[in-house]
Structure 1
């Protein structure tokens, strides 16, 4: 162990080879094109790293929710088509058009805003009409769809936009047998038919996300959106993907305690025997679910050890039994599971949530290390130093601090 490793604090390692392998798996599962969805900073894995890896291994387009996320990809030099589909009516659409982002249109007010921005900037917008196919969430409901298509056609005729896509989202795709999936496909097909009836010719029809791409070929159409699947999460639990994240933390201190020792806030745990307790410097502010204790496990020296007591904001106590643990030793909180360590899926079960929440919830003070798909080298970035800042109004380029 070198000096830098000895000084290392909590670390989140992103295995981009896993992203590459997952992308190739999805590429082999469908005849449709792939959109790599890198919202929420690439599901907590680094949006630009995940985007570049996915594009190099079979994806041809990128997807995000906000305009700010799209601007971040552009500022990183990514030139692939980028779709942003969840923006307030008064978002910075002008910046999106200047940056050559495609935008989803969930209703008439958003369409009017895009038309106004296209008029001001002189940039012809590329839009995807967004249909609600049964979630009562984002997208235009069926009763409003025909008028939205009519307005979009008028804007096309004025030379202000092109309707290049139609999109929807299945609410029950994680359960392939749920009858709502068939109904969602029907509503989507009807929506596409309506666009054509109004003279629109969308080239991209996309309904399937990760789960539907794996289990429902009828939903693939021309394009599949893969987000969680890129980083190793399969909501349908039908396919073994490669998890890309490993979270580690060093032991800060070790103490021997007698039976009957109360541990942590509320004395929620009391030792049943003489034992050794190790402290690691991560807690719920870093994304370790407070609800997971007791019952959660971490790995140290190839053995699993239980969390003792409640997870605190900045620290977690581990009962290591009779292990002769020293400060500075590395604990694996979760990883891909290849070496017996707990996985994000297990932490999700222990916490009564889903993997997505675990992997996207790791806090900003945990350093990140991305291991490239084609190299054993890596770069570790500290979130405590300077970094790129993004807003709906553009990008301010700062210096990224390197910690190792």
Structure 2
């Protein structure tokens, strides 16, 4: 009995993407972002592959519990916690580099490091709010923060300073340039007080690939690492592939509709394949923000129209796209295989889809050095 659907994570492709980012962004260091379960590629297997890698300076985790789990799983690379919300006892006990956004958090970290009697200054990264307005130290609070840090500098080490861009290089790129200016002024103030920062980082994948002015000392690589970089001239490879097998095949006479929705009856006899994948697995679901203006509504209508009229089918047999028939079902999808007499029950079909969560029924298979390995081996 074969698996009906599975997800293949190609660690060789991840290695390739890492090398592309290094060539594009050097001499900037690479912070490999593994938040969101490594963008749903499996945090532990991916972290094991990246641990100690010569091109990776830090792993960047999104949540405290993820960072702590990495340590429990034996990961030894420096780990930057991107979120400023954490338990300082767990952070210091597990040698995790925290993000600090206030004098109060700096003070609590200072007390905990003293309590645990760390032998050398404990590193942290300061996050500045340059205009995204999510979290971060306000620029007008910087002077006070640095005065307090000066008193703590034998116990703590301001290793890095960073911020997040609201809109990358899209449409309103001028906002990113304004954020960059605020960030540069912050660095000037810090370094003007004789404080040497090892890692100043502002850009994530999209901006790092599009404009070298945003590189600074390091870049945070997430989307590009997993082959999801958009509008890039670089040749990234998707690290994740969703696959399934044809579960059943049958013939539908001419003049009959197929699937949900009473689609237009076919003028010809159709050979139809059933695959065990549907909306319950996230197929066909699109994540987008609600419209805020008439322009947003029009843009979404045009985008939806393009998707139905021009966008290629997400289903592929080999290199050939297969057209879906009828409306998407919860657990099954119907495909037109009339032109493919070689397709049989059990034939493999690849699904090109942005996964926001791994399909609940899917087995995860990892590939390394062109060989399948079990996740437990990583």
TM over 0.5: yes
Q: Within 5 A, what are the aligned runs for 1:156-175?
A: 156=153, 159=155, 161-175=156-170
Q: Within 5 A, what are the aligned runs for 1:147-158?
A: 147-156=144-153
Is 2:248 the counterpart of 1:230? no
Is 2:283 the counterpart of 1:288? yes
Contact 2:4 2:247 in 1 (8 A): no
Q: Deviations over 1:179-209 (max 9, x none)?
A: 2232222111111223335554322111122
Contact 1:210 1:235 in 2 (8 A): no
- C-alpha distance in 1 between matches for 2:48 and 2:246: 34
Is 2:56 the counterpart of 1:38? no
Contact 2:84 2:101 in 1 (8 A): no
Residue 8 (structure 1) aligned to one of 3, 7, 12: 3
Is 2:222 the counterpart of 1:204? no
The residue that corresponds to 1:385 in the other structure is none
Structure scoring higher RCO (CA < 8 A, sep ≥ 6) equals 2
Distance 1:238 1:138, change over 3 A: farther
- C-alpha distance in 2 between matches for 1:236 and 1:133: 25
Q: Deviations over 1:213-239 (max 9, x none)?
A: 222222222111111111112244332
- C-alpha distance in 2 between matches for 1:219 and 1:27: 15
Q: Within 5 A, what are the aligned runs for 1:2-401?
A: 6-29=1-24, 30-54=26-50, 55-56=52-53, 58-88=55-85, 91-123=86-118, 125-156=122-153, 159=155, 161-175=156-170, 178-197=173-192, 200-258=195-253, 259-264=255-260, 267=261, 269-273=263-267, 274-290=269-285, 296-324=313-341, 325-334=343-352, 347=353, 358-372=354-368, 375-381=369-375
Q: For structure 1, which runs of at least 5 residues remain unmatched after alignment?
A: 1-5, 335-346, 348-357, 382-399
- C-alpha distance in 1 between matches for 2:57 and 2:171: 26
Distance 1:176 1:254, change over 3 A: same
Q: Which region of structure 1 is more displaced relative to structure 2, 215-224 or 110-119?
A: 110-119
Contact 1:63 1:84 in 2 (8 A): yes
Q: Deviations over 1:137-176 (max 9, x none)?
A: 232232333333333334435x3x3221101122333449
Distance 1:179 1:261, change over 3 A: same
- C-alpha distance in 2 between matches for 1:168 and 1:85: 10
- C-alpha distance in 2 between matches for 1:170 and 1:27: 21
- Offset of residue 287 of structure 1: 2.8
SS at match of 1:71: helix
Distance 1:277 1:197, change over 3 A: same
Q: For structure 2, which runs of at least 5 residues remain unmatched after alignment?
A: 287-303
SS at match of 2:165: coil
TM-score, structure 2 as length reference: 0.82
Distance 1:401 1:31, change over 3 A: closer
- C-alpha distance in 2 between matches for 1:268 and 1:132: 53
- C-alpha distance in 2 between matches for 1:18 and 1:196: 39
- Offset of residue 93 of structure 1: 2.9
Contact 1:170 1:207 in 2 (8 A): yes
Contact 2:272 2:336 in 1 (8 A): yes
Contact 1:27 1:59 in 2 (8 A): no
Pairs aligned (count) = 349
The Cα RMSD (Å) is 2.8
- C-alpha distance in 2 between matches for 1:8 and 1:194: 58
